[in-house]
Amino acid sequence: QVQLVESGGGLVQAGESLRLSCVISGRTTSGYVMAWFRQAPGKEREFVSRIWWNSGRKDYADSVKGRFTISRDNAKNTMYLQMNSLKPEDTAVYYCAARRVANSEYYSWGQGTQVTVSS
């Protein structure tokens, strides 16, 4: 399994930006799907975005489409989530997750990083 460590969270005002990072270690990321999830207080964890490491294919939840951008850096074994035009409803703990393409469920998770957006 891979090990995942997120960073980059913080407190910002509505309309500002943040970039989250997820450093991946343990084994090659080839053949993996990497994703961002988030969980707000009192709510279930929800999908935000994912990227197929080999092809670079991406998709997004409707709630973040057009505002968030997922990317990866092969050389640094790092995944990013650029978050622009942040809204108070984006406040949550953000987690990165990994699974192999053949698996349906994510089985490696980071510890999470807190994002707080004030109005």
In tens, the pLDDT along 48-58 reads: 999 999 999 99
**Which residues on neighbouring strands pair with residue 95, listed in sequence order?**
37
Q: Percent of the chain scored above 70 by pLDDT?
A: 100
Contact, 4 vs 24, CB < 8 A?
Answer: yes
Which amino acid, one-letter code, is at 72?
R
The overall average pLDDT reported for the chain is 95
Query: Is residue 94 classed exposed, middle or buried when 0-12, 13-18 and 19+ CB atoms within 10 A define those classes?
Result: buried
Q: Do the beta carbons of residue 61 and residue 45 sit within 8 Å?
A: no
**Across residues 59-88, what is the average pLDDT?**
97
Q: Binning pLDDT at 50, 70 and 90, where does residue 27 land?
A: confident
pLDDT at 94 over 80: yes
**How long is the chain?**
119
Residue in the block written with tokens 């970039």: 19
Whether the pLDDT of residue 112 is over 90: the answer is: yes
Mean pLDDT of 17-39: 93
Q: Would you state the torsion angle of the CA atoms of residues 65, 14, 78, 93, taken in this order, to the nearest 10 degrees?
A: -90
